[in-house]
A and B are shown apart, each in its own frame.
Chain A
Amino acid sequence: MTSGDHPGETATVSSPPSRGVVALAARRVTKRFPGVVANDEVDFELRAGEVHTLLGENGAGKSTLAALLCGLYQPDDGHIERGGQPVRLRSPREGLARGIGMVHQHFRLVERFTVAENVVLGDPAQPALLRRADIEARVAEIGERFGLPVDPRARVSSLTVGQRQRVEIVKVLYRGAEVLLLDEPTAVLTPQEAEALFTTVRAMTAEGKAVVFISHKLGEVMAVSDRVTVMRGGRVTGEVATAATSARELAELMVGRPIEAEVRRGSAAGGEGDGTEAGPALEAAGVRLVQGGQTVLDGIDLAVFPGEVVGVAGVAGNGQRELAAVLAGITAPTSGRVQVAGTDVTGGGARAARGAGLAFVPEDRLGTGLVPGLSLTDNMLLTRRREFLVNRRAARREMATAIESFEIKTPGTEAAARVLSGGNAQKVLLARELAGLGTGAGPRAIIVASPTRGLDIGAAEMVRGLLHDAREQGGAVLIISEDLDEVRSLADRMVVLYRGRVALEGPTDELTLEEIGLAMAGIQPEGAVAPG
């Protein structure tokens, strides 16, 4: 073993020498970006051996703080302390040299390299001539010690998302990190993988390492952390011990006001009964899609009836994006049919699908959904029935009404879409796509990809409300999302995709989290045979 390269690695399990000592701290740090103060005199303290969660909505400043702590950014005011000493970290590399390692939400891995190659990439402690066997042995040893099983010789391209995350963690542990910052680590994991990650986190703290856990999911925050620092609008609004608080209290610290219960879905469907008789508003039958020689959708059957919300869940990259494109008419399926309100729109393009009564809110809001360079009014006009002359005045009036009723924050109807924040862009999109719903002229079926991703709690609440209303008005809503919590809170019925197939389907209330997790991981329940 070559553990001699990294003296910090030798701490023994039985007696962590430095537990309780402040390992890393931010002292009144301020970070300004043009137009915003991302961190405003923020204080933060992380002790050895603890899991300390940074909790906050998007834009609350938690990622900025993490970037300051790991050396990605430098504070404008205040300073960072490591082990009680003020330090200046000019790059993540300098951070790592002081034992601070960040695991990003978006993995930084070279797909064609092996695990071992990725682990030592850019490591200044490596000799000029790499000793492959030593590296592989040490990667395996770290994996074993912290419950991160990875094959050092496997190519990253062959690994699942969960395994890739393990590689990222091994990468910083290999370099002797004593402090780990995990940025929204569970966002891409199945519930079982998340549970395994928590075990790893506990193994690390048991050795005296300190972990900063960045999250906005209250449930897991309560489960994994010792202390929580809550941020809002660039400031710290509270620091509490997990044992002495509740999810509700944390949520209110996050938002700054009491919040209403999240789950809006009820069993009393709006257009109950009569909808089913009318036939599905959106239907896919035997949809197969082959792209670049690979089968990305493999015989998908799916029906969404008026007055119901169906949610499609799954780990990223199991065909969700392709399914949305096929249903919206953007991609023609290799075989199979797509029907909107009883009309066959297969291969007719987005225009045919929309003509038959389909509305689509894509994942990529500014780009696929809205044209960033066009004004809000012009974006509104894009999906209107095409006449030779456009009616700008009516569109402007419509937009003005939407701005008011949806509380869209914008300089005005003629502002370019690109200046909108994610939440406001989503509201504009929904205003456009849902217009006329329930009047007969509006959409019959609505596909929404990642409806609340990147939205703050307030905007997410409103979007959930809008989707709920759409369902009450007899709309058929299909939600496609990688966020399991989101799907579970919104959908009446759930479909789990695994490798382009429907792995599990059923009413949300009747599916257990365990069943869903296993289906997401492609594991069949006991006794069943995996599809070949």
Chain B
Amino acid sequence: MNDGAFVALLAASVVAGVPIALAALGELLAERSGVLNLGVEGMMLIGAVVAFQVGNSSGSLWLSLVVGALAGGALALVHAVLTVTLRASQIVSGLSLTIFGTGLATFVGKSIEGLPLATDFRAVAWGPLADLPVVGPVLFEQDPIVYATVVLAVAITWYLRRTRAGLSLRSVGESPATADSMGIAVARLRYLHVVIGGVLAGAAGAYLVLGQVPSWSQDGTTSGLGWIALALVVFASWEPMRVLLGAFLFGFSRQLNFYLQAKGVDVPAELLSMLPYLLTIAVLVVWGSRDLRRRVGAPAALGLPYVRDER
């Protein structure tokens, strides 16, 4: 078990889990406010292609990340306008966001398809800690975004559980009518968290090209990660720390393929690429049953537009 290839597999699993975790944490915030956004895949793609273009022309890593994230947020803003203000169906709006995002990303990315990116996030070694066997390379020699993601998951847990603002957010997702009558600005909180969700999805996409594989390809860059993130939120019962753990598990399962190939075990890649969609189907099964939804802990008002009943 202590062969170098396995340690490399674990270290790579952590990196592979980061974009899933970022996107899923963002979606978790949006869903906790009661808004389902099926556009995660689209927002990640836009984030990735914009980050690549910015990175390619400016050479600045952090600028690429920020602009990519904002691009995801801009797309999410469209979703917020449609679903919160205009009360459109969240499912239809989210799906069209993914289709739109995929199309736009393909168009913007045409000129850079297959090009390498000169700059990417580098791992930072934590001095002597990084020299520890196994744990060193897995935990103490990663890039800054990996650590930021872990901090983010902890921060969101704390925000939801302990702060007054988090309580307000949860009430908006559970019972917007109650929140409204207690003087909480339902629409404002929904807008805010949907857009933050988009920013995180954009950042997740940006990290794919800045931290994982420094090139852009329409099929290969996200390859269904957005759908995995969506499913993960449900499987994690809308709990940030479980999202983080699940993301690393998914990262591991994706990296396992390469490891097994290197060991001479041949697993068809097609099986793996089916995974996101299988998970999506499983999630839709949960989604379809009101009872099941309540039991897995879905916010009670998730998916429902809020209309104040005027007398």
Q: Do A and B come from one complex?
A: yes
Q: Which of A's residues lie within 8 Å of B, judged by CB?
A: 33, 91-93, 104, 108-113, 117, 120-124, 126-130, 292-293
Report yes or no: A130 in contact with B163, Cβ–Cβ below 8 A: yes
A124 to B168: give the CA distance in the assembly, Å: 11
With A108-B178, A108-B182, A109-B178 as given contacts, are A129 and B162 in contact (CB-CB < 8 Å)? yes
CB neighbours (8 Å) of A33 from chain B are: 311
Give chain B nearest CB distance to A109 CB in angstroms: 6
Q: Which of B's residues lie within 8 Å of A, judged by CB?
A: 162-165, 167-168, 170-171, 174-175, 177-179, 181-184, 290-291, 300, 311
With A108-B182, A127-B164, A129-B162 as given contacts, are A121 and B171 in contact (CB-CB < 8 Å)? yes
Give chain B nearest CB distance to A102 CB in angstroms: 9
Q: What would 24 A/B residue contacts be, using CB atoms closer than 8 Å?
A: A93-B183, A108-B175, A108-B181, A109-B178, A110-B170, A110-B171, A110-B178, A111-B175, A112-B174, A112-B300, A113-B167, A113-B170, A120-B164, A120-B167, A121-B167, A122-B183, A122-B184, A123-B164, A126-B164, A128-B164, A129-B164, A130-B164, A292-B290, A292-B291
CB neighbours (8 Å) of A123 from chain B are: 164, 182
Q: Which of A104, A120, A130 has the most B CB atoms < 10 Å from its CB?
A: A130
Of B182, B291, B300, B311, the contact of A122 (CB 8 Å cutoff): B182
A130 to B291: give the CA distance in the assembly, Å: 31
Give chain A nearest CB distance to B123 CB in angstroms: 35
CB neighbours (8 Å) of A104 from chain B are: 181
CB neighbours (8 Å) of B164 from chain A are: 120, 123, 126-130
Of A91, A121, A129, A293, the contact of B291 (CB 8 Å cutoff): A293
A18 to B155: give the CA distance in the assembly, Å: 48
CB neighbours (8 Å) of A130 from chain B are: 162-164, 167
Q: Across the A-B interface, how many residue pairs have beta carbons closer than 8 Å? A: 63
With A128-B164, A129-B163 as given contacts, are A121 and B178 in contact (CB-CB < 8 Å)? yes
Query: Would you list the 5 A-B pairs with minimal beta carbon distance, nearest first?
Result: A122-B182, A93-B183, A292-B291, A108-B178, A108-B181
CB neighbours (8 Å) of B175 from chain A are: 108-111
Give chain A nearest CB distance to B160 CB in angstroms: 11
CB neighbours (8 Å) of B167 from chain A are: 113, 117, 120-121, 130
Q: Which of B170, B171, B177, B291 has the most A CB atoms < 10 Å from its CB?
A: B171
Give chain B nearest CB distance to A6 CB in angstroms: 16
A91 to B180: give the CA distance in the assembly, Å: 11
A120 to B178: give the CA distance in the assembly, Å: 12
CB neighbours (8 Å) of B181 from chain A are: 92, 104, 108
**Extra inter-chain contacts (12) besides given A123-B182, A292-B291, CB under 8 Å:** A93-B182, A109-B178, A110-B174, A110-B175, A111-B175, A112-B174, A113-B171, A117-B167, A124-B183, A128-B163, A129-B162, A130-B167
Give chain A nearest CB distance to B60 CB in angstroms: 35
Grouping DSSP codes into helix (H, G, I), strand (E, B) and loop, the A interface class, with mixed when no group exceeds half, is loop
With A110-B171, A127-B164, A292-B291 as given contacts, are A91 and B183 in contact (CB-CB < 8 Å)? yes
**Smallest Cβ-Cβ distance to A294: which chain B residue:** B291
Give chain A nearest CB distance to B181 CB in angstroms: 5
Give chain B nearest CB distance to A465 CB in angstroms: 31
A104 to B165: give the CA distance in the assembly, Å: 24
Give chain B nearest CB distance to A15 CB in angstroms: 34
Give chain A nearest CB distance to B290 CB in angstroms: 7
**Smallest Cβ-Cβ distance to A117: which chain B residue:** B167
CB neighbours (8 Å) of B177 from chain A are: 108
CB neighbours (8 Å) of B174 from chain A are: 110-113
Give chain A nearest CB distance to B172 CB in angstroms: 10
A33 to B163: give the CA distance in the assembly, Å: 40
A110 to B181: give the CA distance in the assembly, Å: 11
A110 to B182: give the CA distance in the assembly, Å: 11
Report yes or no: B184 in contact with A111, Cβ–Cβ below 8 A: no
CB neighbours (8 Å) of A111 from chain B are: 174-175, 300
Give chain A nearest CB distance to B302 CB in angstroms: 12
CB neighbours (8 Å) of B163 from chain A are: 128-130
CB neighbours (8 Å) of B291 from chain A are: 292-293
A126 to B166: give the CA distance in the assembly, Å: 13
Give chain B nearest CB distance to A383 CB in angstroms: 30
A111 to B171: give the CA distance in the assembly, Å: 10
CB neighbours (8 Å) of A129 from chain B are: 162-164
A126 to B51: give the CA distance in the assembly, Å: 41
CB neighbours (8 Å) of B184 from chain A are: 121-122
CB neighbours (8 Å) of B290 from chain A are: 292
**Smallest Cβ-Cβ distance to B184: which chain A residue:** A122
Report yes or no: A121 in contact with B300, Cβ–Cβ below 8 A: no
A128 to B162: give the CA distance in the assembly, Å: 9
**Smallest Cβ-Cβ distance to B299: which chain A residue:** A112
Give chain B nearest CB distance to A157 CB in angstroms: 10
Give chain A nearest CB distance to B146 CB in angstroms: 28
CB neighbours (8 Å) of B170 from chain A are: 110, 113
A127 to B174: give the CA distance in the assembly, Å: 22
CB neighbours (8 Å) of B168 from chain A are: 121-122
A128 to B164: give the CA distance in the assembly, Å: 5
CB neighbours (8 Å) of B179 from chain A are: 110, 121-122
A337 to B19: give the CA distance in the assembly, Å: 57
A104 to B178: give the CA distance in the assembly, Å: 11
Give chain B nearest CB distance to A130 CB in angstroms: 6
**Smallest Cβ-Cβ distance to B175: which chain A residue:** A110
A129 to B166: give the CA distance in the assembly, Å: 10
A82 to B168: give the CA distance in the assembly, Å: 29
**Smallest Cβ-Cβ distance to A127: which chain B residue:** B164
**Smallest Cβ-Cβ distance to A132: which chain B residue:** B162
Give chain A nearest CB distance to B188 CB in angstroms: 13
